[in-house]
Every structure is written in C-alpha cells, then in structure tokens.
Amino acid sequence: MGVKKIVSTVLTFLPGITIAMLAVTGFAQMPIFKRYYIADIPGFGWLAKFYVTHYMHYLLAVVLLAFLGHRSVSWFLGRKRGAGTVWTTKIKRLILAGLVATGMMLVVRNLPGYHFSPGVLVALDLTHLGLTVLLMVTGVVSVVVSRIIPDQNNKSV
C-alpha cells in the first residue's frame, strides 16, 4: 500500500474514529468506567482518569472542528454535494450541529469567570449527553438501513 493510499484510508476513517473517541472520552466524564470495571481492563486505565479524558476530549474536538470546517467548505464548493444525503445522514448532521453547539457552550463554561445558572448547566450537560446517545442510535439505524437498502450511500457525517 502506497503512502498516498494510507493517507487517504486514514482520512476516510478519521472522522468516524474521532467521533467514536469523542463519545468514549465524553462518557468517561461520568464516573462509570471505574465503577463498572472497564478501566480495570489492561490498557483501559486511562478511562478512569478524568483530567486525561477531559484533555483528550478537547483535543479530539479540535480535530472534529477542523474536519467540519473542511467538510463545510467542500460542500459549499459543490465537491461533496449530492451523495450521501439520505434522511439518516441529514439527522446525523443535525445532531452533530447540536453537539458542537452545546459542546462549545460547555467549553466556555469551563473558562474562568463564566457562571451559568443551574438550569442552563443541567440542560447543557443533559442535552450534550442525550445528543450523543441519539447520534449512536442514528448510527446504528443508518447501518441497518444501508443493509436493507444497499444502494443508499450512507456517509458517516
């Protein structure tokens, strides 16, 4: 496999891997991986380290935002338009937009000097979590749909 091919394979899977890792590091913000022994599995200890997963979540968000910037311009210029706009893909895009919006607000919340009222705090956390679960469900649905109707071109984002 040539370097070009490797790069293009990585680029194809990068968005999917980034989103999956964002979900994992996001879930790791809840104290569940230690409680449920997942962090005990050799190589998974980092899942119980809140500051490590928090930092990773931020780093992955940087990658995702760069990718979304790239995708949006490509779409605007017409290079990626047309293919992959089945209903599940449209829903996934909407959910992703919601995740980015709530995620950005949470990033602002984490800066010194920003105070959110309790309703906003709970709503943001719940919405961010709920949208992640929804994205996962939609992902599964879109795989099933693409199996049933194989000619549908389902893109991951």
| Interface contacts to another protein, rule CB under 8 A | 29-32, 34-37, 50-51, 54-55, 57-59, 61-63, 65-74, 77, 79, 107, 109-127, 129-130
In the numeric block, the tokens 């919340």 are attached to 109
Encoded amino acid at 80, one letter: K
Q: Which residue, 1 or 36, is less far from another protein as judged by CB?
A: 36
Q: Which residue, 55 or 87, is less far from another protein as judged by CB?
A: 55
Minimum gap (Å) between residue 68 Cβ and another protein: 6
3-state DSSP assignment of residue 125: helix
Minimum gap (Å) between residue 97 Cβ and another protein: 13
Tell how far CA 92 is from the center of its chain.
10
Q: Which residue, 49 or 152, is less far from another protein as judged by CB?
A: 49
Tell how far CA 77 is from the center of its chain.
24
Q: Is residue 45 within 8 Å of residue 39, measured between CB atoms?
A: yes
